[in-house]
Structure 1
Amino acid sequence: MFKKGSVKATQKPKVKNDLRISGYTDGDYFISIDSKDFFGKAVSSPSGKYLIAAHKKDLVVVDHRKNELVYEYTFKGNLSSFDLLITDDLYYIVIDISNSQELVNEFFCFGPNGKPVIKKKVNANVQSFGISEDRRYVCCQNANNSDHPDGGSLLLFDTKTNELLHRWTPETGWADYYTFDTRDKNIILHYDDKGQYRYTFSGELVDKEQWDQTRLGTLNGYQLINIAEEKINSLESSSNNQLQLSDYQPVIELLAAAVEKDISSYQKAIAYRRLGEIYHTFNDNINALENLKRAIENNPKIGVMRMISKLEKEIDE
């Protein structure tokens, strides 16, 4: 079922007399098996039918109502007892974190027969994950790793074909949880503090207008300026030689929002200078001059006096 040395599984083991499930007033359960020196906090399926728990390299899946083991596994590395998910129809997700210091995890999604429908080495630490209601699609979203494309990205898998469908870095950042619209092939990223945003299975942000409005309101001025600079660099490095002022409208909105935030005078001067340069590029001299003057008001050494003098002469003419 697995490559040698990867993970060993004993399917449908006999009931162990020393299996104990302990419940606590806060709703948590703990599973202990003395013969295996196993003790771990359990994650419950939505109805409470199944429990799953990890201890070091060992994983157990338990039928809570029958108080018996369903599956038990030994992985090659330690497991994260917090990174577990199990459904009422016995799909479950497990993260092997044996090489977390080297930013390598293994992502597993098992099916009801105890065999993996997805097994993927991920060159980053897995941060969160989800599964569709029909169990056809599974995703995981990773922490940063600047040395590999997996870093900061969301990976979407098809459990029927056992393949990676797409990998992208969501513009909206790391989600708290995920739902799926399998009819329209969309995945929805949910956030506790900034709403929810829909992406196509190919990684296109469907709710872009909503996100742009949210981002303007939630990010600080420094973050807005950084995003604006990234967009400017992307526009200037593109092969499009017919750029219009409208192409820079998202940049203008970001910079205009940034100067309204609590940022230093120096950063405000930079933002206003950028706005002035954009307007000047497209011959909007009135707006260019207005923003350059605001730049120098915030920092007299921002280096725009010559451009201001030139624009004043052109406007007077």
Structure 2
Amino acid sequence: MTGFFDRLFGKRASVGERPNSSSQAKLNVDEFGHGLVSIDELDFLGHQAKSPNSRYRLVWADRTPDGRRGGNRDSGHGCWLLLLDDRIVKTGQLERPQEGKVADNGTFILHDWMFGQGLQGRFVAFNSKGQTLIAQQFAANLMSNSLSPDARTAICQTANAPGSDDSCRYMLFDLEAGREIARWEVETGWAEGYEWDREAHRVLICLSDGERAAYDFTGTMVDRAGWQRRRIAAGDLRVIKDILETQVPLDSEMRKLVVAGLARAARDGEVWSQARALRLLGELHETAGELEEAIKAYDDALRLDPKVGVARRVEKLRREAGPQDIQTAGGRKNRFEKQADRLGIGHDVIMLEKGRGKEWRFHRAHDWSSVEFAALEHYHEQGWSGAASEGGLILTLIKAASFKSLDPCHADTFVEALYAQNVAFDQDRFSKSDLVASVSRSTRSQIEANWRIISATADNTPAFYPTVLAEHVFGLFDAIGADRLAEIAGVFASAPYDLRSGWPDLTLWKGEAIRFVEVKAPSDSFHASQARLISKLLQPLGFDVGLAEVRARSESTGA
């Protein structure tokens, strides 16, 4: 890189200097993936953008002149080059050049992320002679941009910057006039791309789900009502929430559309959005005085995410609907009993002796330990075998069962990465169906052989699950069997990264009986990942799941 700057600017070129560096020598530009290019003649490595006709090429590097520092820094300008048929037309410097675009006439735009730590950025545009058309600074970081094919208009997008008038905005520029002509808030979500309709004077914001939102050159959305209907039908909770807050009461047609959109979000969205959709549905019913429907929607939301924020509200509605719903033979239910009821799982109370901090024990003869290990002793006394390892045990067993012979190179590879094919080399990409089929055919000898490989790197335990032992892996496999384990693996394969977390603290077995138990100390709370794992995997497969509520007993009454 030092040679590159020396060639372009001469020794110790001043900051911002843009000498006339046109050259008739054609450069050899090597292209790589992700927009990377190298130019050996200039000792250059950076990014590129090509014009639609491929004649112009804009390349830039966000690095110091000596090439030693890139990214966030306080000094050391980066550079850009404009090439025509791979011959240098113009060169220049910016603090931190990014996100270049170039048109067929050589007009180009760049983002300058600028030196320092603050939320700031500069949008710049140049013509093919290197003359500045736009240089506008914002008190927000810059994200995406686009240049119209005729090079007359450009757009950029800013990120969130609390307290700044530039936060979360689209800015539209007239490059011929050299000024900003419109700006508007990001209400559509972040752009994945842009399209231009110069005849109609419109720019289209392209979203990740294929939706497009058209804006005219005054920053006004075209056919907002149509866009809202499409977004509601797609289950866009941000748009639905805005409708519920601004259009009160809803007319019958809009209500039907909103209910259908919420149903789609509750069915197809991520767990957090499913819970939020059900909360919004509950609010819709509550506003309409439909208490029974509101209670059901709130309960469904809490089942998916105990922290969705409606626990008190649903109990208030229960009291209005009838107190019998919140009473038990012994009085009012506590929060753990309510959560167990919502999830449809068992509720146990375990009395343990409380020590200092987070120390607990079941018997006085036992050492102090975590609440999970102390609770495990309670179940041991009832004849259960098991482990207090959350998902470590079952995930290790699935991994050992997924391969007839596990390659030692995967001894420490997370099973979710293998099932998601999130690996570096093609030979390590296994189909989910093949992995699950291997689980269904797994044998005790296969589990033992693969366990030796898995446990060899960390002193007889898996590298990332130190509480999982051989006796746990073999004991659980003998109890659960290959067929039931394959059922778990099949559901796990549908969303490996989502379903790797949230496993109950205890995995227990007694004969062929399997039980999963989530242990909660008095100050604990239920998490969305735990509710998701139980409701999406364990319950549909018919497993016995329980919530063990730990309460402190006095030493005088200890066992």
TM normalised by structure 2 equals 0.43
How many residues align? The count is: 274
Equivalence for 1:23:
30
Verify: 1:245 aligned to 2:254, yes or no: no
Once the two structures are overlaid, the 10-residue window that deviates more, 191-200 or 149-158, is: 191-200
Q: Which amino acid aligns with 2:220?
A: E
1:63 matched to which residue of 2? Answer: 84
- Counterpart position of 1:109: 125
Quick check: which one's strand share is greater?
Answer: 1
Partner of residue 72, structure 1: 91
CA shift, 1:53, in A, is: 1.1
Q: Distance in 2 between matches of 1:60 and 1:269?
A: 53
Instruction: State the 1:113 CA deviation.
Output: 2.7
Question: Aligned partners of 2:108 and 2:186: how far apart in 1?
Answer: 24
Contact 1:199 1:207 in 2 (8 A): no
Aligned residue for 1:284? none
Structure with a larger share of its residues in helix = 2
Cα deviation for residue 216 of structure 1 reads 3.2
Deviations 1:114-159 (CA, angstroms, capped at 9, x unpaired): 2121111122222211122332211111222223232221100111
Which residue of 317, 333, 339 maps to 1:304? 317
Q: What is the match of residue 49 of structure 2?
A: 43
**Displacement of 1:294 after TM fit?**
0.9
Q: Deviation per CA, 1:237-290, whole angstroms, max 9, x where unpaired?
A: xxxxxx7634797577445532551468975764344223443xxxxxxxx33x
Cα offset, 1:198, TM superposition: 0.9
Report the equivalent of 1:91. Answer: 107
> Aligned runs of 1:1-317 on 2, under 5 Å?
7-11=16-20, 13-15=21-23, 20-24=27-31, 29-34=37-42, 38-55=44-61, 56=63, 57-64=78-85, 67-75=86-94, 77-80=95-98, 83-99=99-115, 101-219=117-235, 224=237, 227-233=239-245, 235=246, 245-246=249-250, 253-254=257-258, 257-259=261-263, 261-262=266-267, 270-279=279-288, 288-289=289-290, 292-298=291-297, 299=299, 301-304=314-317
Preserved contact between residue 124 and residue 151 of structure 1 (Cα < 8 Å): yes
Task: Give a deviation string over 1:31-74, Cα, whole Å, max 9, x none.
Answer: 3454xx5433432222221221112211111122xx43110112
Deviations 1:203-260 (A, max 9, x none): 32224344334423544xxx62x55444555x3xxxxxxx763479757744553255
Matches of 1:159 and 1:278 in 2, distance apart? 50
For 1:150 and 1:158, the matched residues in 2 are separated by 18
- Deviation of 1:110 after TM superposition, in Å, equals 0.8
Alignment check: 8 A CA contact 1:100 1:124 kept = no
The 2-side partners of 1:246 and 1:63 are apart by 58
Secondary structure in 2 matching 1:199: strand
> 2:189·2:207 contact (CA, 8 Å) conserved in 1?
no
**What amino acid maps onto 1:91 in structure 2?**
T
User: Alignment partner of 2:283: what SS?
Assistant: helix
For residues 227 and 196 of structure 1, do their structure 2 counterparts lie closer, same or farther at Cα, with a shift above 3 Å needed? Answer: closer
Whole-angstrom distance in 1 between the partners of 2:108 and 2:239: 37
| 8 A contact 2:49–2:102 mirrored in 1 | yes
CA distance in 2, matches of 1:244, 1:202: 29
CA contact (8 A) 1:31 1:53 kept: no
1:186 deviates by 1.7
Which residue in the other structure is 2:512 paired with? none
Given residue 54 of structure 1, which amino acid in structure 2 is its aligned partner? W
Rg larger for: 2
Instruction: Check whether the contact 2:57–2:102 (CA below 8 A) recurs between aligned residues.
Output: yes
What do residues 55-109 of structure 1 show as CA deviations (whole Å, max 9, x unaligned)? 2211111122xx431101122x1222xx111112111111111247412111111
Given that 2:193 and 2:206 are in contact with CA atoms closer than 8 Å, whether structure 1 keeps it comes out as yes
Calculate the aligned-residue CA RMSD, in Å. 3.5
Structure 1: how far apart are the matches of 2:292 and 2:15? 65
Q: Percent identity?
A: 21
The answer on whether the counterparts of 1:84 and 1:93 sit within 8 Å (CA) in structure 2 is: yes
- Distance (whole Å) between structure 2 residues aligned to residue 9 and residue 275 of structure 1: 61
- What SS does the aligned partner of 1:112 have? coil
Residue type of the alignment partner of 2:90: Y
Asked whether the equivalents of residues 103 and 151 of structure 2 are also in contact (C-alpha less than 8 Å), the reply is: no
Structure 2 CA distance for aligned equivalents of residues 71 and 272 of structure 1? 58
Deviation for aligned residue 1:308 = 5.7
Query: Does the Cα contact within 8 Å between 1:178 and 1:188 map onto a contact in 2?
Result: yes
Counterpart residue number, 1:238: none
Q: Which secondary structure state, in structure 2, belongs to the residue aligned with residue 10 of structure 1? A: coil
User: What residue ranges of structure 2 are gaps of 5+ in the alignment?
Assistant: 1-13, 64-77, 300-312, 323-559
Write the distance in 2 (CA, Å) between the matches of 1:145 and 1:59: 27
